[in-house]
Amino acid sequence: MDTQVVRDGAGFVSGAAPRDSGVCPFGCGEQVSRSTLTQHMSDRCTEHVEVARLRLDRLTVTLQDADTSSSLATRLNRLQGEVDRLERECLQQLGQSRAGELSLSEYRTTSSQSPLNTTTNAINETVNLYEAIMLIYSREIERLFQMLDSSEAAHQLCVDEMRTCEHRIQKVKQDLMEQTKITQLSKRISDLELSSLDGTLLWKLTDVEKRRRDAVSQQTVSVYSPAFYTSNSGYKMCARIYLNGDGGGKGTHVSLFFVIMKGSHDALLEWPFKKKVTISLLDQINSQHKQDSFRPDLTSSSFRRPTAEMNVASGFPLFITHGEFERASNGFIKDNTMFIRIVVEPAG
């Protein structure tokens, strides 16, 4: 007895000897199982669409051929004649005893293989194929949109955080600028309070012991005094001290120097600088001050018009020995404080 063979909606063979695999129903020709059909449809979606497109092109050509017939009635009559011929041939091939009793009209009712039905079935299969493919695409597009929404939300969160950080950085920059302006203004006020406009500087230097240790360790080898002036529009000057010495006095002496600085009225002044300079280390007990003087070397760059913020310092690298400076009876250091005075003579 022959085995009945039936194909299910996915194109798989079932019947007396069912199988779990079959040819892909979407026309790519690959053998697939029921369990992997969904994944196969997703992986080969592009190929399935191309197969469906080719089928639709062939169907379109068929329909266009039908439209180009001289007459729809003639076309139908020709198709009906073809159907009748095919039906007779089928009845002869069946060879069944009851075939002669089966009328043509009854056979038409049971037959589903006419050309018109074949065309209709092809259209339905193509439509079903497109619907299945579009369903897969719709689900994939929906998933991608969900991912896109999540990515956009995360991106917006990052943008908001970056803007917040930028605002904070800008605020810190503004605060630093304001603080810098305040510091600079405070320094200018302090310099103005300490500066002199008559060519005389009285410099109070506190915390001498720490400054001396910093000089020995070379953390801060020298200290500059506030600026002072010979007049309101005169030369700008300052002092510089090395508590552990400089040059030939390093490690044995306190070195004191005089510095010409760049001023706002230098273009109106006489150069090189020619005025006599006297530097004194004040004795706070006995008034026995330690002092020395010099007249500028007119060939030295230290006394020419400054091109930088200040010229090279000039003065006394061996101003006073450490022993004499630190001896308590001399009074140069009292309450961890010392005083230096510099006098620039008015006349050159």
Say what the pLDDT of residue 172 is: 87
Domain identity same for 226 and 105 = no
Order of strands across the sheet with 277-281?
200-206, 337-344, 277-281, 290-294
Same domain, 129 and 269: no
In this prediction, residue 32 has a pLDDT band, given cuts at 50, 70 and 90, of confident
Q: What percent of the chain has pLDDT over 90?
A: 42
Q: Across 30-39, 67-76, 323-332, which has the greatest mean pLDDT?
A: 323-332
Phi, psi values for residue 255, rounded to 5°: -105, 135
Identify the three-state secondary structure at position 205. Answer: strand
Residue 103 predicted with pLDDT over 50: no
Looking up residue 337, the CATH number of its domain turns out to be 2.60.210.10
State how far the Cα of 123 lies from the Cα of 322, in Å rounded to an integer.
113
In a domain, 227, yes or no: yes
The set of long-range contacts for 129-137, using a CB threshold of 8 Å and a minimum separation of 24, is 129/26, 129/27, 129/48, 129/52, 129/55, 130/52, 132/26, 132/41, 133/26, 133/41, 133/45, 133/48, 133/49, 133/52, 136/41, 136/42, 136/45, 137/45
Say if residue 251 is in the same domain as residue 335. Answer: yes
Q: Does residue 172 sit within a domain?
A: no
Instruction: Clarify whether residues 103 and 235 are in a common domain.
Output: no
Query: Among 144, 162, 182, where does a domain finish?
Result: 144
**Residue 30 falls within a domain, yes or no?**
yes
The predicted model scores a pTM of 0.49
Same domain flag for 122 and 249: no
pLDDT of 43 reads: 73
How many CA atoms lie less than 13 Å away from 16 in the CB half-sphere? 5
Distances (CA, A) of 289 to 225, 258, 285: 19, 18, 10
183 domain-assigned: no
- Same domain (yes/no): 131, 215: no
Residue 55 makes CB contacts below 8 A (sequence gap 6+) with: 27, 122, 126, 129
| 3-state SS assignment for residue 271 | coil
> In the listed set 104, 120, 144, which residue is the last one of a domain according to the structure?
144
With a CB cutoff of 8 Å and minimum separation 6, the contacts of 139 are: none
In a domain, 253, yes or no: yes
Q: For residues 310 and 313, give the distance between their C-alpha atoms in angstroms, rounded to a whole number.
A: 8
Going from the C-alpha of 172 to that of each of 96, 159, 160, the distances in angstroms are 101, 20, 18
What would the pLDDT profile of 326-344 be if each residue is shown by its tens digit? 999 999 999 999 999 999 9
Residue 285 gets which letter from DSSP?
T
Quote the CA–CA distance of 131 and 334 in Å, as a whole number.
102
Residue 211 shares a structural domain with residue 76: no
Structure tokens at 201: 């500087």
Q: Which long-range contacts (CB under 8 A, 24 or more apart) does 174-179 make?
A: none
Q: Read off the pLDDT of residues 138-185 as tens digits, 9 standing for 90 and up.
A: 787 777 778 877 877 888 888 888 888 888 888 888 888 888 888 777
Q: How far apart are CA 59 and CA 69, in angstroms?
A: 16
Residues 213 and 139 in one domain: no
Tell which of 124, 144, 164 closes a domain: 144
Range of the domain at 132: 19-144
Pairing state between β 277-281 and 228-229: unpaired
Tell me the CA distances in angstroms from 186 to 72, 173, 179, 193, 196, one per residue in order.
Answer: 105, 20, 10, 10, 17
Note the helical H segments in 217-313: none
Q: Are 265 and 234 in contact (CB under 8 A)?
A: yes
Question: Do residues 107 and 202 share a domain?
Answer: no
* Average confidence score pLDDT of the chain: 78
Total domains in the fold of the chain? 2
For residue 261, the cross-strand partners are 236, 310
**In the 8-state DSSP scheme, what is residue 324?**
H
Task: Assess if residue 158 is contained within a domain.
Answer: no
Are 253 and 134 in a shared domain? Answer: no
**Which has the higher per-residue pLDDT, 311 or 74?**
311
Residue 210 domain-assigned (yes or no): yes
- Tokens standing for 45? 């979606």
Claim to verify: residue 137 and residue 209 sit in the same structural domain: no
Q: Is residue 187 part of a domain?
A: no
Same domain, 137 and 205: no
